[in-house]
Amino acid sequence: MGNALQGRHALVTGGGRGIGAAIARRLLADGASVTLLGREQAALDATVHALQSCVIEGAALGAVSADITDADWVSGAFAGATEARGPITLLVNNAGQAYSAPFGKTDLALWQRMLEVNLTGTFICTQAALPAMLEAGWGRIVNVASTAGLIGYGYVSAYCAAKHGVIGLTRSLALELATKGVTVNAVCPGYTETDIVRDAVANIVGKTGRSEEQARAELAARNPQRRLVRPDEVADAVAWLCQPSASAITGQAVPVAGGEVMAG
Instruction: Give the C-alpha separation, 263 to 188, whole Å.
Output: 11
User: Which of the following is catalytic: 99, 153, 159, 191?
Assistant: 159
155 is catalytic: no
187, 238 in Cβ contact below 8 A?
yes
9, 31 in Cβ contact below 8 A?
no
Instruction: Give the C-alpha separation, 170 to 253, whole Å.
Output: 8
49, 130 in Cβ contact below 8 A?
no
Other beta carbons less than 10 A from residue 62's beta carbon: 14
Any idea what DSSP says for residue 151?
A: S
Closest by Cα among 242, 255, 235, 191 to 94 = 235
The H-or-E segment that residue 253 falls in is strand 253-256
Strands 90-93 and 253-256: unpaired
Instruction: Give the C-alpha separation, 113 to 105, whole Å.
Output: 14
List of residues 6+ apart from 145 with CB closer than 8 A:
163, 166, 167, 170, 186, 187, 188, 253
Name the residues annotated as catalytic: 159
